[in-house]
Amino acid sequence: MIPFKRMMRLLAIAVGLLLLAGCSQRDTTTQSASQKAPVFSFDKAAVAEAKPWTSENFANNPREFQFAIIGDRTGGANVQGTFEIAMNQLNMLQPEFVINVGDIIEGYAEDTKELTAMWEEVEALTGKLEMPFFYTRGNHDVSFPGGKEEWARRHGPNYYHFIYKDVQFLVLDSEDSSRPEPPPEIMEATKVYKKLQVEDPEAARKMLAEFMKSDAIVAALGQPVEFPNEQLDWIKKTLAEHTDVRWTFLFMHEPCWENPSQSFKAIESMLKDRPYTFFAGHLHYYDYDKIKGREYITIGPAGASWHHDGPGNVDHIMWVTMTEDGPQMANIALKGVFDRKGLDPSLFGAYDRKGAATQDAQGEAKK
Ligand SMILES: [Fe+2]
Q: What confidence score (pLDDT) does residue 232 get?
A: 98
**Helix/strand/coil for 41:** coil
22-to-11, 14, 19, 233 alpha-carbon distances in Å: 16, 12, 5, 59
Report the separation in Å between the CA atom of 30 and the middle of ligand 1, taken as the mean of its atom positions: 59
Report the separation in Å between the CA atom of 254 and the middle of ligand 1, taken as the mean of its atom positions: 7
Q: Where are the alpha helices (DSSP H) in the chain?
A: 4-35, 82-93, 112-126, 139-142, 147-155, 186-199, 201-212, 215-222, 229-240, 262-270, 356-366
Residue range 303-341, pLDDT digits in tens: 998 877 888 999 999 999 999 999 999 999 999 999 999
What's the CA gap between 329 and 311, in Å, rounded? 18
Report the separation in Å between the CA atom of 366 and the middle of ligand 1, taken as the mean of its atom positions: 32
| 201 or 31, higher pLDDT | 201
**Helix/strand/coil for 323:** strand
**Helix/strand/coil for 40:** coil
Secondary structure, 3-state, 97-112: EEEECCCCCCCCCCCH
Give CA angle at 132 (167, 324), nearest 5°.
25
**Helix/strand/coil for 290:** strand
Report the separation in Å between the CA atom of 53 and the middle of ligand 1, taken as the mean of its atom positions: 47
Residue range 211-248, pLDDT digits in tens: 777 777 777 777 899 999 999 999 999 999 999 999 99
Report the separation in Å between the CA atom of 140 and the middle of ligand 1, taken as the mean of its atom positions: 6
Report the separation in Å between the CA atom of 281 and the middle of ligand 1, taken as the mean of its atom positions: 7
What's the CA gap between 235 and 228, in Å, rounded? 11
Report the separation in Å between the CA atom of 66 and the middle of ligand 1, taken as the mean of its atom positions: 26
What's the CA gap between 302 and 81, in Å, rounded? 9
Report the separation in Å between the CA atom of 129 and the middle of ligand 1, taken as the mean of its atom positions: 23
262-to-9, 19, 279, 293 alpha-carbon distances in Å: 87, 74, 19, 20
Q: Classify 65-366 by CATH class.
A: alpha beta
Report the separation in Å between the CA atom of 222 and the middle of ligand 1, taken as the mean of its atom positions: 13
Mean pLDDT within 261-272: 98
What's the CA gap between 15 and 20, in Å, rounded? 8
Q: What confidence score (pLDDT) does residue 34 get?
A: 54
Which one, of 137, 220, 224, lies nearest residue 182 by Cα? 220
Which one, of 215, 135, 207, lies nearest residue 175 by Cα? 135
Q: What confidence score (pLDDT) does residue 364 get?
A: 38
Report the separation in Å between the CA atom of 170 and the middle of ligand 1, taken as the mean of its atom positions: 19
What's the CA gap between 98 and 69, in Å, rounded? 6
| 146 or 358, higher pLDDT | 146
Domain parsing of the chain, residue ranges:
65-366
Percent of the chain with pLDDT over 90: 63
